[in-house]
Amino acid sequence: MRNLSSPATGRCSPPRRRRSNWRRAIVRGLGAENRVDVAVCPPFPYLSQIAEALHGSPVGLGAQNLYPEKEGAFTGEVSPTMLLDVGCRYVILGHSERRHKLGESDAFINQKVRAALAAGLQVIFCVGETLQEREANRTEAILESQLVHGLGALKGDQLGGLVIAYEPVWAIGTGRNATPEQAQEAHAHIRRRIARSFGEERADALPIQYGGSVKAENAGALMACPDVDGALVGGASLQADQFLAIVRAALTPKV
């Protein structure tokens, strides 16, 4: 079984009281569980607060973005070293909302990936196609382009600091998710492309998550697929019972 990884990204934050209850429920629900890697990636303002609440637990802390410079006059940006200072181990890069709503290019995302890995952060690198691209049968071409350009200049030994998240844009926050067959097809293509660039051994060891309206109800079927190694969870991560159910689904052995 590959190393399963289930980071969660909260796209908004509940009121303070709910955040406190959520943190306690997650930490208590996981206990000393260490068979699956679990991380939460809240918005920047809550990183220190969440880090304190997670201290001593097996839950890792991640951020939703970074700026690819260690230091300098970049007012309003957050550097990799700042994330390390507040206890982050992970960072999400290339998320579809940053690509499509904020106009981040593959080249800029590549700068971020290389800066994050150089700083020692574990990168959750997102790729995925829009509905129009899928309907035009361009899914594999889009994934290939995002992988080639987003991971450009990386060396094979750097893949140990990488997790890939396949997130079909048409399934994010829509309540519509890829079928297990569609997810497996995309994940297998990603793994084949990584194998061509970095070798089959590294490709086989690389965790590839599915992200896109992941819920407790569909997590088990998705993660039962041979090449689906975990989940990048959005809205369901704000509900402790839903999130813990998704983590439990990741613990079910693949047939």
Q: What whole-number distance in Å separates Cα of residue 215 and Cα of residue 208?
A: 17
Output the furthest CA–CA distance in the chain (Å, rounded): 52
Placement of tokens 């689906």 in the chain: 228
Candidate list 104, 129, 167, 187, residue with the active-site label: 167
Residues 6+ apart with CB under 8 A from 130: 100, 169, 170
Q: What whole-number distance in Å separates Cα of residue 212 and Cα of residue 220?
A: 14
- How many CA atoms are closer than 13 Å to the CA of 183, on its beta-carbon side? 31
**C-alpha angle 145-175-162 in degrees, rounded to nearest 5:** 40
Q: What whole-number distance in Å separates Cα of residue 251 and Cα of residue 255?
A: 12
Q: What whole-number distance in Å separates Cα of residue 156 and Cα of residue 154?
A: 7
Candidate list 95, 104, 129, 187, residue with the active-site label: 95
Beta bridge partners of 61: 40
Active site residue 104: no
Active site residue 185: no
Q: What whole-number distance in Å separates Cα of residue 220 and Cα of residue 225?
A: 9
Residue 138 in 3-state DSSP? coil
Give the residue numbers annotated as catalytic, written as ranges: 95, 167
